[in-house]
Amino acid sequence: MNRRIRRIFAAICTLLALSSLLGGCTFSLSAKDVADAEETSSGKNPVGTLSFATEGVSVVHDSESLNEKVDAMMEAAQQPGIGVEYQNEAHSTDGQNFQCYIGNPSGAEYPVFIAIYADATYQEELFVSGLINPGFAFTNVELSRPLTEPETRLYVCYTQCVEEDGEWKIRGQTIVTIQFFIDA
């Protein structure tokens, strides 16, 4: 029994580590779980239920399902990540047209497009590129509006795309920050 608990604990730790890398894991207690917990405390149910909501999509109630989910996440983690190439500074004299370097590495397998956002809410899009093939980059961006602060951190979202059945689909995303400077 002790070995089984260690295996479950290791699976949970692995799940948590992977979820922080792959987009997050939330723990949730449903109404059924709360009822189970109440029954456990009253002695009606000797074993309570802990649920794990992964990626906000599926919930598992037992260690076997959790192990299956962890195995699937491990397999997904083996897939190559999104390579990025960029300088962490961009410079402008007018606050709208910036010299920078943002690219898709030559070793990348898929094209990407870039979106630049004003802040971490990702509500205000200041720039979006077309598809950038592996090995290509751009060295200038024109934002949709001028920046007013002499130094602004912007959020650059790399979205990797793959063509399947004649349609472009999102394969993955990653976000980096770049400092945008208005030079006097």
Domain boundaries, the chain: 2-78, 85-182
Q: Would you mind telling me the total number of residues written for the chain in this entry?
A: 184
104-145 tens-digit pLDDT: 999 888 899 999 999 999 999 999 999 999 999 999 999 999
Question: Which of 15-29, 85-99, 118-132 has the lowest average pLDDT?
Answer: 15-29
Residue ranges of alpha helices (H) inside 28-135 are 31-42, 63-78
Structure tokens given for 37: 């917990």
pLDDT score at 7 = 66
The alpha carbon torsion through 62, 68, 69, 72 (nearest 10 deg) reads: 180
| pLDDT tens digits, 24-81 | 434 444 444 444 444 444 444 444 444 444 444 556 677 787 778 777 767 766 666 7
Q: Which CATH number fits domain 85-182: 1.10.1330.10, 2.60.40.60, 2.60.40.2550, 3.40.190.170?
A: 2.60.40.2550
Q: What is the pLDDT of residue 44?
A: 46
